[in-house]
Structure 1
């Protein structure tokens, strides 16, 4: 049986913001979801905090 030496890459987090009525929510490809915010800038800040950017 052959042994495979494959590097396991960490899951890349890609965040987006989604409008839901008067609110905006940050979401990630990993399944994470931030709280509903009235300000888009706060939703973006939540997303940056999740990915470790900023």
Structure 2
């Protein structure tokens, strides 16, 4: 995250899950990437936990 982003841009996290072969990973608009998971539900919970952090 660059120092030039405003507070509203820094606080907004848009997460999604991405299929990678047999694995699924969570990614965020801020550049964060979660670990590859076999369970899609775990990748979604990783994304939810990331978005909930300040």
TM-score range (shorter-chain normalised) is 0.7 to 0.9
**Number of matched pairs:** 47
Pairwise CA distance, 1:9: 2.2
CA RMSD of aligned residues (A): 1.8
Pairwise CA distance, 1:30: 0.1
Are 2:46 and 1:36 equivalent residues in the alignment? no
Correspondences of 1:1-54 after superposition (within 5 Å): 8-11=7-10, 12-52=12-52
Q: TM-score, normalised by structure 1?
A: 0.78
Which of structures 1 and 2 has the bigger CA Rg? Answer: 1
Unaligned segments of structure 1, at least 5 residues? 1-6
Pairwise CA distance, 1:8: 4.2
